[in-house]
Amino acid sequence: NEAPPTLTQITSDSTTLVWRGRMTAQAKYNSRGETIFWAVDANTKLCPNDKAQSCLQVKPITYDDQGIKIDEGEWTAFKGNIEGYEHNPGHDEILRLQRYKLAADGDTDTKYAYVLDMVIESSVSS
């Protein structure tokens, strides 16, 4: 909750550059993330338990060590947030994410934070 670190640099031609740091996801969640892959459908649907909100439609994808797709899961509704990701309703996408387990606060359900690492594939939805 502290202010981000700042570095001020003055170059040889007297130009002043100001650099502001930001916390990495590893530091923020105090753990190493688990790499996962999700396919995200271009179209959202109403959330099953909250008809007033739209949910992303996602399914897990598994790759082998050579990067060849070996399995796809079932489509499910995702109501949460993916840090760094902005959904484009015109594109189907495959995302590489870092998933961080959040500290339990008495709740029995495991909660996660999801952070976009990279868009692996993007195609115009038909």
Tens of pLDDT, residue by residue over 47-82, are: 888 878 899 999 999 999 998 999 999 999 999 999
Specify the DSSP element, H or E, that contains 25: helix 25-29
Tens of pLDDT, residue by residue over 85-122, are: 999 999 999 999 999 998 766 666 678 999 999 999 99
Domains in the chain, number = 1
Residue 3 lies in a domain: no
Residue 69 lies in a domain: yes
Find how far residue 68's CA is from the centre of its chain. Answer: 22
Q: Are 96 and 111 in contact (CB under 8 A)?
A: no
Residue 110: per-residue pLDDT = 73
Residue 6 lies in a domain: no
pLDDT of 1 over the 60 cut: no
CA 16 – CA 30 distance, rounded (Å): 34
pTM of the model: 0.79
Please give the residue range of the domain that contains residue 111: 24-124
- Band of residue 18 on the pLDDT scale cut at 50, 70, 90: very high
Q: What is the dihedral of CA 117, 120, 121, 122, to 10 degrees?
A: 20
Residue 105 lies in a domain: yes
